[in-house]
Amino acid sequence: MAKIELIQGDITKLEVDAIVNAANKTLLGGGGVDGAIHRVAGPELLAECKTLNGCETGEAKITKGYKLPVKYVVHTVGPVWHGGNNNEPGLLAGCYKNCLKLAIDNDIRSIAFPNISTGVYRFPKEIAAQIAIESANEFLKQINKFDKVYFVCFDEENFSLYQKKLSNS
């Protein structure tokens, strides 16, 4: 099975086949990791995103990486947390599964995920980490075409949560 690896740092600096962008529904850039990815990739990323007609929550779309050190950016829209009664966990799991499926469809062998929905979308970090790890493990048990799947945590809190949960999975 593909090895899951945890990294603390800046996802825009990773040299992998694809990084995942925690985007908003327009795919036209925003704050957090979305803004950082658009800034590093350059205006060509925005131009390609404009042709995609947005993206629904839990779904994923793919673009080139442009000035990023990756071939592709897989864009996904995580759910905004409203207390957990609006299928937020299912939608977040869908983000991971749909990104991995799109990666397989594009012969991507290494992919890096940020902490989807845990910033301005207020998804509880501990629940989000559990969903991310379970979703990736479940997918990789069924389809093992990846060399590496990375979880990239920008902050110490998420890094510690993922470290603890990965050691228990």
Whether 34 is catalytic is yes
Give the bridge partners for 60, in sequence order: 76
| Cβ-Cβ contacts under 8 Å for 138 (sequence gap 6 or more) | 97
Buried b (16+ CB within 10 A) or exposed e, 111-126: bbbbbbbbbebebebe
Do the strands 110-113 and 72-77 form a parallel or antiparallel pair, or are they unpaired? unpaired
Region class of 122: left (phi > 0), else alpha (psi between -120 and 50), else beta = left
3-state secondary structure at position 130: helix
3-state secondary structure at position 152: strand
Do the strands 148-153 and 110-113 form a parallel or antiparallel pair, or are they unpaired? parallel
- Catalytic: which of 10, 17, 34, 155? 34
Catalytically active residues are 34
